[in-house]
Amino acid sequence: MLKLHFAPNSRAGRVVWLLEELDLPYEINKMNFHPSDLKSDEHRARHPLGRVPVLDDADVRLFESGAILEYILERYKNGGLKPSPSDIKFPQYLQWFHYCEGMVMPPANIIVVNTILLPPERRDKNALKQAQRLIKKALTPIDQELSDKNYLIGDFSAADVMLGHACYMSNHLGCVNEDMPNLQAYVKRIEERPAFQIAINMA
């Protein structure tokens, strides 16, 4: 059985979300989002940087969330959530699947560090302002893409799991505003999905 090493409020949530959408059985090793768990010798043996998610599947171990999603889709996709390479939607699927970590999450990470993780006296206001500008620029094309569809390629897909999770987090960071009505509606649709609710409430 697939075993996911998980901590709340992390990218591990998108893996749970995908597993739930595909109705796949899995086991959870739930850890605290704290150095006492993540930086322990036991967990560093799974992930050299002491981060989550980590997926174990028999003798296979992966610790990059995008790679984990692609692995699950190829090995266990259960017939859905990814268009075939010959599908006209496949190029767009690939674009939005990878847009998440390439464009949205880098500034989001800086915002989290400088608003949540660091104590106030160590926060960099200039870095925060720059990241807030960058994430707005990164989110704008997503809002435009959603002007005539409910999900990124029309039907719900794993691209929505990757990028939708990042949009949800961006919304909680206060980066999705009234200037992005399509994105606001998209986040609401995501939040209403039962599989997403399971993933996000797994504390």
The whole-number mean pLDDT for each consecutive block of 10 residues of the chain, a chain of 203 residues, reads: 95 97 96 91 95 97 97 87 95 98 97 95 98 98 98 98 97 96 98 97 79
Task: Say how far apart CA 186 and CA 193 lie, in whole Å.
Answer: 11
CA 88, CA 83: separation in Å to the nearest integer?
8
Q: What residues are paired with 61 via a beta bridge? A: 56
| Cα–Cα distance measured from residue 149 to residue 110, given in angstroms and rounded to the nearest whole number | 30
Residues 6+ apart with CB under 8 A from 166: 100, 104, 105, 108
Phi/psi of residue 29, nearest 5 degrees: -105, 100
- Report the candidate in 74, 66, 76, 55 with the shortest Cα–Cα distance to residue 102: 66
What the chain holds in terms of domains, given with CATH numbers, is: 2-81 (3.40.30.10), 90-199 (1.20.1050.10)
**pLDDT at position 80:** 83
pLDDT computed for residue 203 by the predictor = 60
Reading the block at residue 50, the tokens are 């002491």
Segment (H or E) for 57: strand 54-57
Torsion angles phi and psi, residue 149, rounded to 5: -150, 160
21: exposed, middle or buried (Cβ count in 10 Å: 0-12, 13-18, 19+): buried
For the whole model, what pTM was predicted? 0.95
Q: What is the pLDDT of residue 79?
A: 66
Amino acid letter, 190: I
Stretch (H or E) spanning 188: helix 181-191
Are 145 and 167 contacting, i.e. CB atoms less than 8 angstroms apart? no
d(CA 180, CA 178): 5
